[in-house]
Amino acid sequence: MQPIPADAISGITLPPGVNIYANFKNATILNYLEIPVLLKLTLGHNLEYYICFGPDIAFLTEVKTTTSGSSLLYMDAAATMPFTQNGNELPPFSFNSTTNVKESIKTVNMGVQVGWGLQYPVGVGSLLLEGRAIIGLTNIQTHTEIDGKNQTGSLAIALGYLIKIK
């Protein structure tokens, strides 16, 4: 169940600040260009293993919210009081939509990264397996009084082949 401002659905009139509730799926997808500055501590000889950590700055490139499903509207989060208008229960409302919400998200995000990796020499280069945890420290919402306070977080895994350039 998710709260929905009454003004988000046309044809419904409620007092200001009153929410209605519905059961639907909601996903927000954020794409960032991240620039990390990492300190790398390498151990081992033939099979090198390392840890890395440091700050990063991320620039928002795209953001969208996708909602899906249909639901009756309710006056409470427990879904015990269906919303009625003129004494009649409304039919299920469709929430299938994709919305650009870029104006609601700050364009720059500061964070930290920590990771580990393995490198194994093969031919002129090395095979690489690396994993990182990325934690955003910036509150990404532009309107915290409406949208709340949120931060980003992600896990990244890389598998690759490194070639040294002399």
At 71-116, the pLDDT tens digits run 999 988 899 988 888 888 888 988 898 988 888 899 999 999 999 9
pLDDT for the residue 6:
67
Average confidence score pLDDT of the chain: 89
Tens of pLDDT, residue by residue over 117-145, are 999 999 999 999 999 999 999 998 887 66
133: CB partners within 8 A, 6+ apart? 113, 114, 115, 153, 154, 155
CA distance 154 to 57: 14
- Please give the average per-residue pLDDT across 6-21, as a whole number: 76
Taking only Cα atoms into account, the Rg of the chain, rounded to an integer number of angstroms, comes to: 23
Domain boundaries, the chain: 2-163
